[in-house]
Amino acid sequence: MNNAILVDQPDLEGVGNCVGQVNFTILNRFEDVRLLAIAIGAIAKLNFNDEASARIELALAEALNNVVEHAYAGVAEGAAEITVHYCLYADKSLLRVIDRGATMPPDCIARLCGPACEISEEDEPGWPPVEELPEGGFGLGLIRNCMSLVGYGASEGCNCLVMVKHFA
């Protein structure tokens, strides 16, 4: 299954009617990221099993960390807002992460929204063992692998990352 969609605007067409939603706004602080990811993970447990809710929590934490670290690079800690909308549908949950930071670079959009890629020793001979890989740079792949669909759009200074998780 292709788990990527490109979003030109925050609203997705054809996703159905949201039957319940919660909205959160946090500041660009890693402490707030952690708290919100845990809260959304707990909410997700109402409709998902432990593994799926943990994947939602992990993807959201990574997405929020990326906003704090990259979109708001150079912005004073606590000086910018990030909004998260969590919508429940009959067959899925949808998260929107909205910020007013720097736009995601095209190469990152391609990695997030392009064809799925999994790296293995067979595919890429010469890759070092996992324990020798650098710490950073895997977040976008992590988000893609945790969620059913991922999309990104930016317009008029507003960035919107959309993540969908279908019920099993």
Which tens digits make up the pLDDT trace of 159-168? 999 999 999 7
47 contacts: CB under 8 Å, gap ≥ 6: 88, 93, 167
Indicate whether 7 belongs to any domain.
no
Contact 7, 160 (CB under 8 A): yes
Task: Provide the residue range defining the domain that includes 143.
Answer: 20-166
Centre a 10 Å sphere on the Cβ of residue 89 and count the other Cβ atoms it contains. 18
Residue 166 pairs in a beta bridge with: 92
For 139-153, the pLDDT digits (tens) are 888 999 999 999 999
Instruction: Give the distance from CA 104 to its chain's centroid.
Output: 12
Indicate whether 71 belongs to any domain.
yes
Closest CA to 138 of 152, 123, 118: 118
The pTM of this model reads: 0.81
Q: State the CATH number of the domain containing residue 140.
A: 3.30.565.10
Indicate whether 11 belongs to any domain.
no
Contact 84, 95 (CB under 8 A): yes
Query: What average pLDDT score do residues 27-54 get?
Result: 96
Contact 108, 144 (CB under 8 A): no
Rounded CA-CA distance 146/140 in Å is: 10
Three-state secondary structure call for residue 77: coil
If one counts the domains in the chain, the total is 1
